[in-house]
């Protein structure tokens, strides 16, 4: 082949080789790329025939995304998750067990467990920072719940929550009053406290008393106004009579006639 042709074909050959190399790298990248990029420290497995997803001690600060939606057991324990937002687990319709223990969860939004009511049978929220949670956060949930080792405020709200959920056997002793309106309750197991104290009944009585005090206050204001009004009218009438008496007799009779005509 002439030298001129070889010189002309060389750039074309190099271009084709470069395109082939890029295509090969692209195909290798597609084939080797993982189907889902899980957070560091998280991995799927299978335990006792159940699909499990473990994120224990993964330093998570929120509920991870891209959890396989066929997961049966989810372990998010020993992380730094501070709260549970609404619909946090809505894409996990087959979830049976959920472990959120040993986090820093301080609040749970209403609807956080929405979508889990039918299948979830175990929920572990022990060793977190829960002080007060609305019973609505657990509405329609049939799972057995572990609420032990949290700094609970013992009040009517906690009493309603305990009546709403089914506690894990043996975990009730770990629900201890970290704070309470009555100092003698602090440090005691909540179920022991409510055996003698009905927080909701006390709250209802307090509310009733407050309503009675408010109603009495309004009633006293109305009575005071009526008394003032009557006394003011009496004083005006007395002054008018004294004024009439001070007039000459003819003018007084004229004033009285005028007053009577006005009244008529």
Per-residue pLDDT of the chain (264 residues; tens, 9 = 90+): 554 444 444 554 555 555 666 555 554 444 443 445 788 899 999 998 999 999 999 999 999 988 999 999 999 999 999 999 999 999 999 999 999 999 999 999 999 999 998 899 999 999 999 999 999 999 889 999 999 999 999 999 999 999 999 999 999 999 999 999 899 999 999 999 998 899 998 544 444 444 544 554 555 566 666 666 666 676 666 666 666 566 665 555 555 555 444 433
Q: Could you write out the DSSP letters of every residue in 88-103?
A: TTTT-TT--EEE--SS
Place of tokens 């009285």: 256
Q: Report yes or no: 73 and 97 within 8 Å, Cβ to Cβ.
A: yes
User: Nearest CA to 156 among 188, 181, 126?
Assistant: 181
Q: How far apart are CA 88 and CA 96, in angstroms?
A: 15
* pTM metric for this prediction: 0.65
Beta pairing partners, 54:
43, 75
Cβ(161)–Cβ(134) below 8 Å:
yes
Within 8 A by CB and 6+ apart from 208, the residues are none
Structure tokens at 80: 């730094």
What is the distance between the alpha carbons of residues 89 and 67, in angstroms, rounded to a whole number? 9
Residue 81 gets the label, from left (phi > 0), alpha (psi -120 to 50) or beta, of beta
Nearest to 74 by CA among 59, 96, 93: 96
- Contact of 117 with 144, CB cutoff 8 Å: no
Q: Count CB neighbours of 244 within 10 A.
A: 14
Q: Which residue has the tokens 């470069």?
A: 18
Count other C-beta atoms under 10 Å from residue 125's C-beta: 23
Residue 197: CA count within 13 A, CB half-sphere = 19
Instruction: Give the span between the Cα atoms of 257 and 62, in whole angstroms.
Output: 90
Taking Cα atoms as reference points, which of 93, 52, 94 lies closest to residue 76? Answer: 52
pLDDT at 251: 53
| 191-201 burial: b if 16+ Cβ within 10 Å, else e | eebbeebebee
Q: Given this model, what pLDDT does residue 33 score?
A: 39
């Amino acid at each position: 082949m002439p030298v001129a042709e070889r010189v002309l074909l060389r750039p074309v050959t190099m271009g084709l080789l470069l395109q082939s190399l890029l295509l090969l790298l692209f195909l290798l990248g597609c084939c080797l790329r993982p189907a889902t990029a899980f957070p560091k420290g998280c991995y799927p497995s299978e335990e006792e025939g159940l699909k499990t997803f473990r994120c224990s001690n993964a330093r998570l600060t929120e509920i991870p995304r891209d959890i396989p939606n066929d997961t049966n057991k989810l372990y998010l324990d020993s992380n730094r998750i501070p709260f549970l937002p609404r619909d946090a687990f809505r894409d996990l319709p087959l979830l049976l067990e959920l472990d959120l223990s040993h986090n820093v969860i301080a609040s749970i939004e209403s609807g956080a467990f929405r979508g889990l009511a039918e299948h979830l049978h175990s929920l572990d929220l022990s060793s977190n920072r829960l002080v007060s949670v609305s019973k609505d956060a657990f509405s329609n949930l049939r799972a057995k719940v572990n609420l032990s080792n949290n700094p609970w405020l013992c009040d009517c709200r906690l009493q309603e929550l305990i009546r709403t959920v089914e506690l894990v056997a043996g975990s009730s002793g770990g629900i201890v009053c970290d704070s309470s309106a009555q100092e003698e309750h602090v440090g005691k197991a909540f179920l022991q406290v409510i055996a003698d104290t009905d927080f909701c009944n006390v709250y209802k009585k307090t509310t009733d008393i407050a309503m009675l005090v408010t109603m009495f206050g309004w009633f006293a204001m109305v009575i005071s106004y009526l008394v003032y009004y009557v006394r003011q009218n009496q004083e005006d009438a007395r002054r008018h009579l004294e004024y009439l008496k001070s007039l000459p007799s003819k003018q007084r009779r004229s004033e009285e006639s005028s007053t009577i005509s006005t009244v008529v």
